[in-house]
Amino acid sequence: MPRRDPSHGGDKRNRILQAAIEVFSRKGFFNSKVSEIARASGVADGTIYLYFKNKDDLLISLFEEKMGEVVVEVRQRIQAGNNPLEKMKIFIDNHMGLLECEAGLIEVLQVELRQSSKFLKDYVPVKFFEYLDVLSGILEEGKLEGVFRPDLNVSVARRVVFGAMDELSRTFILSKRQKFHPSVTATEVFQMLSEGFCVRGIRNDERG
């Protein structure tokens, strides 16, 4: 049976996606059943397959759509930055802030997504690369304006920034005892990274 066009029945499809977040975050990807997601979203089991091929497809669709929303949001927010350093801080603050306002979603994206063999082997995460491209733009702008080192490898630097946030986010989610507060940690991450990225002589107060 062909999948229904996502542009139709949007409310039902969104209910399924929201239910998937709740079920995946509570039970884990492997232990979750499509029937449980259907029940949580108030639809018949077969309705799921009108929109998604299987559980992996549901998880990947969830990732793409939610990451797309994050990309749109962070692009809007960094416009408030007056310079590359401010924009990088906004980017980091926004990412770490998701731990507080979208805890279930972040747990799915950080932990459960990595358990999908289809995602790891066969899928090209388009929206994730767009997210990294936003960060690349900030770093390239910093180089052009003479704020960041001219020899800064943007490809490596953007992975360093995301890697630091990713590891801290996963630790926050999986730790039984919360060892840090996301907003405080965001400031620390920004300060540490900006020390390594900035041209010598950039004043400390310019790094916030």
Q: What is the pLDDT of residues 21-53, one digit of tens each?
A: 999 888 888 889 999 999 999 999 899 999 999
Residue 16 has pLDDT above 50, yes or no: yes
> CA-to-CA distance for 208 and 203, rounded, in angstroms?
9
Band (102; pLDDT cuts 50, 70, 90): confident
- Beta-carbon contacts of 18 under 8 Å, excluding residues fewer than 6 positions away, are 41
Identify the three-state secondary structure at position 25. Answer: helix
206 vs 41, residue with greater confidence: 41
> CA-to-CA distance for 62 and 109, rounded, in angstroms?
9
Q: Residue 164: its pLDDT value, please? A: 92
137-147 tens-digit pLDDT: 999 999 999 99
Mean pLDDT value across the chain = 85
Band (20; pLDDT cuts 50, 70, 90): very high
What pTM was computed for the model? Answer: 0.82
Residue 3 has pLDDT above 70, yes or no: no
Q: Residue 83: its pLDDT value, please? A: 95
> CA-to-CA distance for 172 and 199, rounded, in angstroms?
32
170 vs 44, residue with greater confidence: 44
Q: Residue 4: its pLDDT value, please? A: 42
> CA-to-CA distance for 62 and 18, rounded, in angstroms?
9
Residue written as tokens 């405080």? 184
Over residues 121-138, the mean pLDDT reads 88
